[in-house]
Amino acid sequence: MTDLHLWLIPLVPLAGFLVNGLLGRKFPRALVTTVALIAALVPFIQVVSIAAKFGSLTLPHVETIGTWIRAGAFHADFSFQLDQLTLVMLCVVTGVGFIIHIYSAGYMAEEEGYWRFFAYMNLFLFFMLTLVLAENFLVMFIGWEGVGLASYLLIGFYYTKDSAARAGKKAFVVNRIGDFGFLLAMFLLIAHFGTVSFSEVFTQIAAHPAWQGGFLTAIALFLVLGATGKSAQIPLYVWLPDAMEGPTPVSALIHAATMVTAGVYMIARTHVIFDRSPYALAVVAIIGTATAFFAATIGIAQTDIKRVLAYSTISQLGYMFLACGVAAYTAGIFHLVTHAFFKALLFLAAGSVIHALSGEQDMRVMGGLRKKIPVTFWTMTAAVFAISGAPPLAGFVSKDEILYQAFITPGPGKILWAFGLLTAGLTSFYMFRLWYMTFFGESRAVEKDLEEHGAAVHARRDTKLTLEAEHHAHPVHESPGLMIWPLIILAILSVIGGWMGWPEGLGGGNWFAHWLSPVFAASSSTSPAGSNQLEFLLACVSTLVAAAGWFAAHLMYYKDPAIPERAAGKIRSVYSLVKNKYWVDEIYGAVVVAPVFFIARYLLNVLIDRGVIDGGTYAAGATAQGFGALVARIQSGNIRSYAGWLALFAALLLAASHFGWTAHFWVH
C-alpha cells in the first residue's frame, strides 16, 4: 500500500502555529506572513498531489501512526483515513483556507497582534484537517474540540473589546453543549461496539441487518446534538451571529466555509448509523428545514452586513442538514462545497467593503459603492447570484439538488420541499437587499455616520488594540491586490463550481454525486427514483421563486426605498419580532442562562462554596484554634506544674490498669 504521509497534512499547519505562536512576536510581519502562508500552502499542494494519484489508491485508504489508548480489548489509534468524502473536504479546507490566508495578509496588514492572528489561523487549519482526516471518533473529537478552541480564540481576537470577548465565550459555551452530545454518542459507541473506529463500527452495523433504531437512534441523536452545536442549527445556532465580532477573514474561513460545516461532514461520515434510524434522520431534516427558514426570516431585517451573512450561513447550513435528513448526503456535501465558495466570497467581499469604508459594517450607512470599488462589486455580485440560486451558478445547482431530493422523499418530503423553496425565495430577497443597500443608490454615509454609528466607531478607538474600525480614516478606495485576487478566484469558483455536479435533469451527468457515491453506497439503494422531467420542473420553479425574491428586493430597495419603512410600519409587531431575532437570545437568557447563573451564584457560590466548604473549613480551623488556646494554658512555663500533670496522669494510668481498663492495649 502506498504511504501518502497523511499525518503531514495537519502537522504542517501545526508547525506553522508553533513557529508563529512561540516566536512570531519578535518576527517582522513579512516573516510571519511567509511562515503562515507556507504552512497553509504545503497541505494544499499535498492534497492536490494526492488528488492527482487518487485513482490508483485502494479506498478507503487508512494510515495508522500509532496506538493512542489501549485498555483491554478496546484500543484507539492515531489513524487517518482517505476516501472521496475526505478528499472533497480536504480540497475545500486547504484550498479555501489558503485563499483566505492570502486575503488575511492584506486585510490584517495594519492590525496589532498580526502574528497572533496567523498563529491561530494555522492552528485552526491543523484541527480542521485532523477532524476531516480522522479514521475514528476519538481523533475526530480532537479536531472537533480544537476547531472550537481556534474559533474561540479568533472570535475574541480583539480581546480588549468587551463584546468580542463575550462573543467568544458564548461560542465556546454553546459549542460545549454540542460537544457533550458528541461525547455521549462516543460513550454509547464504545459501550455497544467496543470500538471507536469508523470502519469497525460500520462493519458491525452492516453485519447485523436486524439493528434498527433503538440504541442506534440514541447514538445518532447525540451526534445530531453535537452537529447542531458546531454547525449552528436550532437550538444551538445563537453563537454564530455573535461570532461576527471576529475579524472578517475568520468569519469567512471558520464561520462560513469550513468549521461550521463540520456537523454536516460528521453526519455524512457516520451516515451508516443514521440510515438505520428513520427517527434521527427525520430529526435532522426537520432541524435543517426549520433552521433554514427561521434564519432566513431573521436575515431579512438585519442591518449589519456581516450579521446578514451570518444568518444566511445558518440558513444554508440548514439546507445541508435537510439534505442529510432525506439521506441525500451527496447533495448535502455538494452544497457544502459550493457554499464554501460563495459564502467565503461573500464574507471576503463584505470585508473588502468594510475595509473600503474604514470599518463601517452598518448597511444603512452604505450605498452607492458600485463605481467606487468595482472589483469588489463584481465579485460580490457573482456570489449574490450564486447563493440566490440563479442558474447556472454554483448555488443554483447544489440547492436545487437538495430541493429535488427533498421533493422525491416519500412522506413529508413535499412539506420540507415547500419550506426549502420558501427559504430560497427569502434567501434571494435578503441577499439582493444587501446587494442594493451596499452598492446602489446614493451614499448614505455622511449624515447617518455622525448621528448614531459614528459614536460607536469612535468609542471603540479608546481600546488598546487597533480594531478593525480603526483603520485611519481615508476616502473610499478599492482594496489592495492581496485581497482582490482571492475574491476573483472565489468568484470564478462560485460561478463554475456547481458544474461538476450538473444534474441529469438539466442534461448534465451529475459527476460529483457519482464520484462520491462509493462512500454512500449503503444508502444509495434506499433513495427513491425521480425523473429528469420532474427535476427540470422543480429547477424552473425554484428559479422563478429566486427571481421573485430578486424582484421584491429590487422594488423595495432600489425603485422605492420608502417601501420597507411603510411595510415595517404596517406590520409593526411582526417586524419587531423578526428584527429582534425572535428574542431567542432573550428567551435563552431567561430560561437557561439566568437559572444557571442563579444556581451558580446563590446555590453553588453562596450556599455550597461559601456556606458549606468555606464555612466547614473555617469552623474546623476555629475549633482547632479554640481548643489549642484552651490547652495552651497548660504550658505555663512552671516546671513543677508540668511535673504535677505528669504525676497525676501517671497515677491515673496506674489506677486504670489496676482496674483492668487498659487491658485492650495488650497484644495477644
In the complex, what is the shortest distance from the CB of residue 645 to another protein, in angstroms, rounded to a whole number? Answer: 11
Choose between 45 and 654: whose C-beta lies nearer to another protein.
654
- Cβ atoms of 431 and 356 closer than 8 Å: no
Q: How near is the Cβ of 623 to another protein at its closest, in Å?
A: 19
| Cα–Cα distance, 406 to 321 (Å, whole number) | 11
Helix residue spans in 208-277 (DSSP H):
215-230, 239-242, 248-252, 262-269, 271-275
Q: Toward another protein, which CB reaches closer, 450 or 653?
A: 653
Tell the burial category of 590 from Cβ atoms under 10 Å away from its Cβ (0-12, 13-18, 19+).
Answer: exposed
In terms of residues, how long is the chain?
Answer: 668
Burial of 166 (0-12, 13-18, 19+ CB in 10 A): middle
Give the nearer residue to another protein in terms of CB position, either 2 or 636: 636
Comparison of 2 and 625: residue with beta carbon closer to another protein: 625
Phi, psi of 503 (to 5 degrees): -70, 155
Nearer to another protein, 596 or 646 (CB): 646
DSSP state of 328: -
Query: Hunting for cell 420542473 — which residue is that?
Result: 537
Whose Cβ is closer to another protein: residue 374's or residue 626's? Answer: 626
- 472, β-bridge pairs: none
Instruction: Residue 165: count other Cβ atoms within 10 Å of its Cβ.
Output: 16
Cβ 141 to another protein shortest distance, Å: 60
- In the complex, what is the shortest distance from the CB of residue 187 to another protein, in angstroms, rounded to a whole number? 58
Nearer to another protein, 589 or 644 (CB): 644
Long-range contacts of 93-96 (CB under 8 A, 24+ apart): 93/125, 93/128, 93/129, 93/132, 93/258, 94/9, 94/40, 94/43, 94/44, 94/47, 94/125, 94/129, 95/44, 95/47, 96/253, 96/257, 96/258, 96/340, 96/341, 96/344, 96/490
Query: Shortest gap between Cβ of 148 and another protein (angstroms)?
Result: 58
Query: In 276-388, which residue ranges form alpha helices assigned H by DSSP?
Result: 278-301, 305-325, 329-356, 374-388
Nearest-approach distance from CB 653 to another protein, in angstroms:
14
Paired residues of 249 in beta bridges: none
Report the run of H or E that residue 81 belongs to, with start and end.
strand 74-82
CB of 658 to another protein, least distance (A): 14
CB of 633 to another protein, least distance (A): 9
- C-alpha 643/C-alpha 640 separation (Å) is 5
The nearer residue to another protein, 415 or 651, going by C-beta atoms, is: 651
- Return the number of the residue (26 or 633) whose C-beta is nearest another protein: 633
Which residue, 475 or 628, is less far from another protein as judged by CB?
628
Residue 76 contacts residue 196 (beta carbons within 8 Å)? yes
Quote the least distance from Cβ 639 to another protein, whole Å: 5
Euclidean distance between CA atoms 288 and 281, whole angstroms: 10
Beta bridge partners of residue 64, listed in sequence order: 79
Residue number, 456 or 656, with CB nearest to another protein: 656
Smallest distance, Å, CB 626 to another protein? 15
Handedness of CA 291, 297, 300, 303 (dihedral sign): negative
User: Minimum distance between the CB of residue 659 and another protein, rounded to whole angstroms?
Assistant: 19
Name the minimum Å distance from CB 649 to another protein: 13
CB of 650: closest distance to another protein in angstroms? Answer: 9
φ/ψ (deg, to 5) at 316:
-70, -35
CA 407 to CA 586: how far, in whole Å?
Answer: 35
CA distances from 439 to 304, 395, 565 (A): 14, 21, 20
Q: Which is nearer to another protein, 212 or 636 (CB)?
A: 636
Q: Which is nearer to another protein, 591 or 624 (CB)?
A: 624
- Output the smallest distance, CB 634 to another protein, in A: 10
The C-alpha cell at 50 is 494526492
Task: Tell me how far, at minimum, the Cβ of 654 lies from another protein, in Å.
Answer: 11
Which value, to the nearest 10 degrees, does the dihedral of the CA atoms of residues 209, 215, 216, 222 take?
180
Between 455 and 646, CB nearer to another protein = 646
Q: Which is nearer to another protein, 48 or 643 (CB)?
A: 643
Residue 639: its H or E element: helix 639-658
For the bound state, the minimum distance from the C-beta of residue 629 to another protein, rounded and expressed in Å, comes to 10
Q: Given the complex with another protein, which of 594 and 653 has the nearer CB atom?
A: 653
Which run of H or E residues covers position 77?
strand 74-82
Nearest to 182 by CA among 219, 234, 143: 219
The answer to whether the beta carbons of residues 401 and 335 sit under 8 Å apart is yes
C-beta of residue 349 within 8 angstroms of C-beta of residue 431:
no
Closest-CA residue to 257 (of 91, 489, 119, 484): 91
Nearer to another protein, 472 or 633 (CB): 633
Minimum distance from residue 631 beta carbon to another protein (Å): 11
- Assign 74 to helix, strand or coil: strand
Residues that bind another protein (CB under 8 A): 632, 635-640, 643-644, 647
SS3 for 75? strand
